[in-house]
Copies of this chain bind each other. A is one copy, B any other.
Amino acid sequence: MSPRRRDAEGTAAARAERRAELLATAAEVFASQGYAATTVRKVADAAGILGGSLYYHFDSKESMADEILSTFLDEMWAAYDRVLAAGLGARETLEALVVESFRSIDRHRPAVVVYQNESKHLATSERFHYLLESRRRFEEMWLALLDRGIEEGAFRPDLDRSLVYRFIRDTVWVAATWYQTGGRLSAEEIAKQYLAMVLEGIQAS
């Protein structure tokens, strides 16, 4: 390996690392202040550089959001696909999906918050159509799972399936707004209690 080549790799890796750092910062700020209300300058301030300097790394503010969201969704779907491929029963699948969701929140909290708050507006632009795609796949997956669970006798048949779908979807993801990495409860512990509530309800039996 020539020194030249080592250098090139070194800078490429360094550059990728810097991007990741900056994206993490941007996601944090987008999550806490809202994408539209966040100025590029605020992101740069949080990163300790000047506004214009961000444009060495990224084409635009939008492309930062894009990279934040697509990275998160790719990882999330990879996890979901592993669960779906495992051939579990409906109830076990539901449990595994919820656990994976909380793991996603644990690893990508700011990205999840941005997704929750902004995907609806962003999706109106061509570039973010994959958000709609993801949402559609998500709904499809859950409705199928709920139907299967009712067939298998695992889930109650007397509830409106759309309502149950939205109930679970919102219930899980909205947790990103208050979840703190390294907080009192671990992602797994939260998942366990959420599953208890969702499956068994909160009333004393």
Which residues from chain A sit less than 8 Å from chain B, CB to CB?
A: 33-34, 36-37, 91, 117-118, 120-121, 153-160, 163-164, 166-168, 170-171, 174-175, 177-178, 185, 190, 193-194, 196-205
Contacts and interface: CB of A to CB of B under 8 A. Distances in A.
10 contacts: A34-B34, A34-B121, A37-B121, A157-B204, A164-B202, A167-B171, A167-B197, A171-B174, A199-B203, A200-B201
Nearest to A167: B197
Given A34-B36, A120-B177, A200-B203, 13 more contacts: A117-B117, A153-B204, A155-B203, A156-B200, A156-B205, A159-B193, A159-B196, A159-B202, A167-B197, A167-B202, A168-B202, A170-B171, A199-B202
B37 A204 contact: no
Q: Would you list the 5 A-B pairs with minimal beta carbon distance, nearest first? A: A201-B201, A36-B36, A36-B37, A200-B201, A170-B174
Contact of A185 (B36, B160, B199): B160
A36 B203 CA distance: 40
Contact of A156 (B121, B174, B203): B203
Contacts of A160: 185, 193
A129 B170 CA distance: 27
A94 to B, nearest CB: 9
B199 A201 contact: yes
Contact of A155 (B154, B178, B194, B202): B202
Contacts of A190: 163
A175 B159 CA distance: 16
Contact of A154 (B33, B194, B204): B204
Given A34-B34, A178-B166, A197 B198 contact: yes
A81 B138 CA distance: 39
Nearest to A33: B121
Nearest to A166: B178
Nearest to A171: B171
